[in-house]
Amino acid sequence: MGNDNHDDESSLSDKTSVLQSDTFKLRLAQAGQAPPSVVLLVGPVNSVGRQWPIEDTDRIIGRAPTAHVFVDDKSVSKFHAKLVMAGGDVSVIDLESTNKTVVNGRQIQPLIPHKLQNNDQIKVGNIIFKFLERGSIETVASAQTFDRGQTDALTGIANRGALQAKAPELYKRSELLGISLTVMIFDLDKFKSVNEKYLHPGGDFVLKELTKVVRDKLIRGNDFFARAGGEEFALLLLGSPPKQAEEIGERIRATIESHVFDFEGKIIPVTISIGIAFKNDRDTGWESVYERADKALFHSKNSGRNRCSVAG
């Protein structure tokens, strides 16, 4: 009996080491294909750890929403610096920025390329990036870590932190390009009773199934969809005219109402209430658009639920 147990433990140990080895090999394989990149080390809290691959030359770092590496910080110039690739090497060039560009503690001269080495730290204003060379295994590891921090564990879509990081960027892009921005908030009607009747496994099923239906069937790839918390979701549409955005909201509402939520052979009736708001000239930030959408959602709830309301 003792020998059998020892054999089982050895077998388990062997399997564990093989699994770890395979995971490491997978990371190595992924790293081998990873382009050079910059990772945010110090900056806006919701963006720390974010990674930007350098897959083409002339990647602009700046505060302008059109910058390839966009950072919303006043210490950063609109077009602060750029990353250039030549012959497999990456260099950074300061674009005569107000607060200068510093590499590893030393200020670089404007408009003169400075070749980067693996793990170099690049300071633009008060923001610090780390450069990772092509094929760095840290590229894969840091990307996976950041993705986990920005992803809702239950539904697999963006979480509230990711929403708070992405929304200001979309708002500024909307302003710069002169295109519309729609904030749509919806939540599940009487979700507490779903949890009480079907317990948390049933509630979790509804949240995951709703996410899958909206993500796979009802929105475009460039729409930003997040779980804002609990049973509340947020959808940000950039460039959709108001009439089209209202149609999208109504389509989502109707599709969820007609969808069959089959949990272990039990059909759970599900409806949602939606609030919609459009960015206007009086807004000073995305938060004011979100607040109006939230008030519109409250109106939908108080008007009988299972409906869309548009903020005035």
pLDDT along the chain (312 residues), means of 10: 44 41 45 76 81 89 90 93 92 96 96 95 95 68 57 90 88 88 96 93 96 92 90 95 95 97 96 97 92 96 95 85
Q: How many Cβ atoms are within 10 Å of 219's Cβ, its own excluded?
A: 17
Catalytically active residues, by annotation: 231
Amino acid 7: pLDDT: 45
Establish how many alpha carbons lie within 13 A of residue 36's alpha carbon, considering only the half-sphere containing its beta carbon. Answer: 24
Is there a contact between 57 and 36 (Cβ–Cβ < 8 Å)? Answer: no
Is there a contact between 120 and 131 (Cβ–Cβ < 8 Å)? Answer: yes
Amino acid 92: pLDDT: 97
pTM of the model: 0.62
Q: Which residue has the tokens 């500024």?
A: 172
Amino acid 249: pLDDT: 96
Amino acid 57: pLDDT: 87
Please give, one letter per residue, the 3-state secondary structure of the chain: CHHHHHHHHHHHHHHHHHHHHHHHHHHHHHHHCCCCEEEEEECCHHHCCCEEECCCCCEEEECCCCCCEECCCCCCCCCCEEEEEECCEEEEEECCCCCCEEECCEECCECCCEECCCCCEEEECCEEEEEECCCCHHHHHHHHHHHHHHECCCCCCECHHHHHHHHHHHHHHHHHHCCCEEEEEEEECCHHHHHHHHHHHHHHHHHHHHHHHHHHHHCCCCCEEEEEECCEEEEEEECCCHHHHHHHHHHHHHHHHHCCCEECCEECCCCEEEEEEECCCCCCCHHHHHHHHHHHHHHHHHCCCCCEEECC
